Amino acid sequence: MTAVLRGVAGRVGRLFAGARRQEPPRPCGGHDEIDLYLDRREAAGAPPKVDARTAADLDFEALFARVDRCASAVGQQWLRARLRSPLRHGGDLEAFDALVEAVGAPGAPRDSLRRSLARLTGASSYLLPYLLHGDLPERPAGYRLTPVLTAAAVLAIAASFAFGVPGFLALVGVCAVNIVVRLSFRRSVAPALGSLPAVRSLLRVGLDLARPGSGLPDATRARLDAAIAPIRGLLRTTGWLAIETDARDELSRLFYEYVNLVFLLDVNALLFSLDLLSRRRDALHGVFDAVGEVDAALSTSAFRASLPFWCRPRFTAPGTGLMAVDAIHPLIDAAVPNSLVLAGPSLLVTGSNMAGKTTFLKTLGVNALLGRTLATCAARRWEAPAFDVVAAIGRSESLAEGTSYYLAEVRRVGALLRAADEASPRLFLLDELFRGTNTVERIAAGKAVLARLARAPHLAAVASHDLELVPLLHGAYVPYHFREEVADGVLSFDYVLREGPSSTRNAIALLAWAAYPPEVVAEADATVEELVGETCARL
C-alpha cells in the first residue's frame, strides 16, 4: 500500500513540476522588499532611476524614512519608486499634487482611507511586483486536476469519520499526493504563488477606494473603476483564498500553510487566475499604481504638514539658473534657511570645516529631487529647470576591489563628465573634488573638470577648501562662503550662506581648541602664513 501511494505521489508530482522556474521571493524585513517594485520595473524597461551613488550622497534612506507615512506595502513601494524616478512630464506631477491637496484638505477622510489601505500590509503584498513585471509561470498540463485533488481531500476527511481505518488510510494517501503536488509546484512558481493572496486584497481595497463615499476626487475614483473593470474576474478565481490570512503570529501562518498543503487552495487560485492575469496585466498594474498613489499622496500631505514651510516648485526653461528662497534641509531640525540666486554661472562654496558647505549642497539636491517627485520643496520659493541630480559628495573606496579613494573619484567624475554631454539639464553636486591627491594637481584637474560641468544647460554646485579655484573659475562660478567665529576658545557657526569667497580658516583653530601644545599651534600658524604669501605672489 505504501509503495503504491509513493508511486502515485511521484507521478502526480512530476506532472506538476513542468512549469517554468522563477527566482525565489525576497525576504521581508528591510528595504529589499520595498525596492522590489522599482527593481522589476526598471528591469522591464522603465526610465532609469537616480543612481546609487547620488542616492547615498543625498542620504536617500533617511529621506525616504522622513517622507514615508504609508499605510500599505503598495504605498511604500510606489512612494520609494517615485522618489528614485523623477517625473519628466509636468502633467503627471500636477495630477499628483492635486491628489495630495484633496486628501490633505480639511475634512478629508484620511483615517478611513488609511484603514482601507492597511489591508495591504502583509508580506504577500510586497510580492505583488512579481505579477506586474517579468514572465508569469506557465500552467502545467494537468492543472485541471487540482480541483479534483481538493475535492478528494474533502471526501477523504469525511470518509475517515464514516469508515474508520480504511477512510483514514485513504485520507493519508490523498494528503501525500496533494503535499507532493503543492511542494513541487511551489518550487516553480513561488513568487507568483506568494503574491496571489495580495491580488484579492488589492482589488478589494481598490473597490473600496473607488466607491462614491470614499472621499477621493472623481478622477481618481474613475481611474480605479476603469482599471478594476477588466480584472473583476480575479475575485472569483481567487475565491479559493477566502480564508487566506496574513496574520503576524506564527501559529496562524503555520495553520494556513498546513491547510494549503492538504487542500491546494493557493495552487488552485493561481492556476485558474493565470490566463486572466496574462491578458490583463496592464489593468492590474493600473490598480496597483492608483492605490499606491493614493497612499503616497496621504504620506506626502503629512510630510508637507510636518515642515515649517514648503512650496511647490516652478520649473523654468533649461539654462535659466536657479532661485531658492529660504531653502532648508528636511532632515535637519531647526535648520537655518538660506537663499541663493544663480542667474547663469554655477556655484562655488568655500569656508571652514563644519561650517555647512556639504549640508547646503545636499539641501539643493534634496529639494531638486523632492520638487520633481512630490511637487514639494522645503523652501519658501523654488524656481529652476527640471534638473536631474548627479552627486559626488561622500567618500568612495573599496578595500576588497583594491580601489583607492582617488581612483574611485576619478571614475565617478568621469561619469559626471559623460552625463554633461547629454542634453537634459543636470545639477552636479561635488564636494572637495580630487581630495585624494596633491594640491597642485588637485587644483589643476578640478579647474578643468568644473569648467566643463558648468556649461549650459547644466548647473554645478561645488564645495571646496581650495580658494585658488575662485580666480581660476571666474565667470563660470559665483563664489559664496560659510564662516565661523572663535571667541574665548569657543568655536561657533551661524550656517548662513554669504556672497564672496571665504576669508577665514579654522583648521588651526581646531588644534588649539583641542588643547594641542601651544608651540605646535604656533608653528602651524606661521607655516600657513608663509604658504599663503607664496601662493598669493604666484597668483
pLDDT (tens digit per residue) in 58-95: 999 999 999 999 999 999 999 999 999 998 767 789 99
Helices and strands: H and E segment counts in the chain: 23, 12
Please tell me the total count of domains within the chain: 2
For residue 16, what pLDDT is reported? 44
Q: Is 525 among the domain residues?
A: no
Distance from CA of residue 247 to its chain's centroid?
A: 26
The rounded distance, in Å, linking the Cα atoms of 409 and 430 is 11
- Rounded to an integer, the average pLDDT of 450-464 is 93
Q: What is the DSSP letter of 468?
A: T
Is the model's pLDDT at 15 over the cut of 60?
no
- Rounded to an integer, the average pLDDT of 464-474 is 90
Scan for cell 496597483, then name that residue: 288
- Per the CB < 8 A criterion, the answer to whether 450 and 413 are in contact is no
Ranges 152-156, 219-223, 243-247, 317-321: which has the least confidence: 243-247
Is the model's pLDDT at 162 over the cut of 90?
no
The rounded distance, in Å, linking the Cα atoms of 435 and 407 is 11
Q: Is 511 among the domain residues?
A: no
The rounded distance, in Å, linking the Cα atoms of 463 and 361 is 8
pLDDT band at 474 (very low <50, low <70, confident <90, very high): very high
The rounded distance, in Å, linking the Cα atoms of 308 and 379 is 9
Task: Name the grid cell of 269.
Answer: 487560485
For residue 139, what pLDDT is reported? 66
Q: Is 517 among the domain residues?
A: no
Q: Is 84 among the domain residues?
A: yes
The answer on 335 and 281 residing in a single domain is: no
The rounded distance, in Å, linking the Cα atoms of 238 and 126 is 18
Ranges 115-124, 162-171, 233-242, 339-348: which has the least confidence: 233-242
- Rounded to an integer, the average pLDDT of 370-376 is 96
For residue 401, what pLDDT is reported? 47
- Rounded to an integer, the average pLDDT of 331-337 is 94
Q: How many CA atoms lie within 13 A of 64 on its CB side?
A: 20
Q: Is 534 among the domain residues?
A: no
For residue 262, what pLDDT is reported? 74
Q: Is residue 330 reached through a cis peptide bond, with omega within 30 degrees of 0 on the bond before it?
A: no
The answer on 351 and 299 residing in a single domain is: no
Q: Which of 344, 387, 313, 288 is nearest to 88 (CA)?
A: 387
Is the model's pLDDT at 431 over the cut of 70?
yes
The rounded distance, in Å, linking the Cα atoms of 378 and 507 is 32
Digit-coded pLDDT (tens) for 486-535: 666 677 788 999 999 887 666 777 777 677 888 887 888 788 777 666 55
The rounded distance, in Å, linking the Cα atoms of 314 and 137 is 46
Class of residue 396 by CB neighbours under 10 A (exposed 0-12, middle 13-18, buried 19+): middle
In this structure, what are the phi and psi dihedrals at residue 231, rounded to the nearest 5 degrees?
-120, 20
For residue 226, what pLDDT is reported? 95
Is the model's pLDDT at 385 over the cut of 90?
yes
pLDDT band at 285 (very low <50, low <70, confident <90, very high): very high
Digit-coded pLDDT (tens) for 88-109: 767 789 999 999 999 999 989 9
The answer on 323 and 294 residing in a single domain is: no
Angle between the N-to-C axes of helices 250-263 and 165-210, in degrees from 0 to 180, rounded to the nearest 10: 110
Residue 518 CB coordination number (10 Å): 10
The answer on 159 and 107 residing in a single domain is: yes
The answer on 272 and 418 residing in a single domain is: no
Q: Select the more confidently predicted residue: 192 or 460.
A: 460
Q: Is 478 among the domain residues?
A: yes
Residue 457 CB coordination number (10 Å): 15
- Rounded to an integer, the average pLDDT of 272-283 is 80
The rounded distance, in Å, linking the Cα atoms of 432 and 430 is 7
**% of the chain surpassing 70 pLDDT:** 81
For residue 147, what pLDDT is reported? 79
Residue-averaged pLDDT of the chain: 82
Q: Which domain holds residue 161?
A: 2-306
Class of residue 122 by CB neighbours under 10 A (exposed 0-12, middle 13-18, buried 19+): buried
Is the model's pLDDT at 21 over the cut of 60?
no
Q: Which of 392, 501, 396, 503 is nearest to 449 (CA)?
A: 392
The answer on 266 and 390 residing in a single domain is: no
Dihedral-angle region of residue 11 (phi above 0 means left; psi in -120 to 50 means alpha; beta otherwise): alpha
